[in-house]
Structure 1
């Protein structure tokens, strides 16, 4: 099953979780299928993975932001054993480890100028993640087009989205899927 089917599944919005109460809402939310954990620690992770999986949702962990997970092959292996569907990371070596474990991998690219765009595309081309997430999602259309053309991967967008119009504009630029921590945007 490919990334679009497994993670996106005809949906356009995923829940990015920073607060415990948002996790509870995301698990119960009928429109949310994909949950991205953006903080926390390894001690709480097993019960979260269990609850999210039991709810039939896709759970991805931002391995760079969750405390206590080794930023190495052993840490990625532990996440696989816990039952996460995939990881989000900015680190190329973790992309490789996660792919070796058979996990879905989203490589985050922070686009601040034309050089960071070139570098992000080059790095992602080398490690071949399942998808890339561009931050911020409010970037110019040509950035999305250049990234899609160069990588031929699903493009997620996150960051600096505050309104429904922001989300609509990001999707109209060609971004395939949005990750957001704003509960009001989960309804879109």
Structure 2
């Protein structure tokens, strides 16, 4: 999605929130894009509403929402209830179901060894997400290899703790980074 690429280029730091305290703090931050990494089917609507009221672009990590099944009906529930801009998932079926419903879909890949990297690349080429989040985000060698193999924006996430980590990930080819470190959310 072209809009996503524009946002990532102009806003390379993405807030990843894990609890209500993070939610409260991200609302007053400069961050545009927010990855919601917590909640349940009872709370996700309110979380999304608060973020959207603050002008944030919301992505819900559907694998982490308590009580949600990652099938077509589960994705439909997220669409009607929370109305986020997009979803994040490690599961190819969630990405497929989300894309069918018009979500911007980000596939999260944990590249812990060469086999998981190869499997991740095959999954991306198969389900064609709108972007991929590579974890851990401090793995510049992995980001470079993936950048040569896939043609979607790469977001580095996990273990991003300093401005140097951000710069290294961007230099390696990531278009943006996601982080739970609140002190990094307001970097320009």
**Structure 1 length normalisation: TM-score?**
0.94
Q: Does 1:14 align with 2:17?
A: no
C-alpha distance in 2, partners of 1:184/1:53? 22
Please give the residue correspondences for 1:61-100 in structure 2 after superposition, counting only pairs within 5 Å.
61-82=60-81, 83-100=83-100
Please give the residue correspondences for 1:83-162 in structure 2 after superposition, counting only pairs within 5 Å.
83-141=83-141, 143-162=142-161
Greater than 3 Å deviation, 4+ residue runs: none
Q: Give the match's secondary structure for 1:106.
A: strand
Instruction: Report how many aligned residue pairs link the two structures.
Output: 185
- RMSD of the TM alignment (CA)? 1.3
Q: Give the match's secondary structure for 1:175.
A: coil
C-alpha distance in 2, partners of 1:182/1:11? 16
C-alpha distance in 1, partners of 2:43/2:150? 35
C-alpha distance in 2, partners of 1:174/1:140? 8
Partner of 1:185: 184
Partner of 2:56: 57
C-alpha distance in 2, partners of 1:26/1:9? 19
Q: Give the match's secondary structure for 2:167.
A: helix
C-alpha distance in 1, partners of 2:162/2:9? 23
**Equivalent pair of 2:87/2:105 in contact (CA under 8 Å):** yes
Cα deviation digits, residues 66-117 of structure 1 (max 9, x gap): 1011211001011111211111100000110000000011101100111111
C-alpha distance in 1, partners of 2:61/2:13? 17
**Structure 2 length normalisation: TM-score?**
0.94
Q: Give the match's secondary structure for 1:75.
A: helix
Report the CA distance between 1:161 and its aligned residue.
1.5
Structure 2: segments with no counterpart, 5+ residues: none
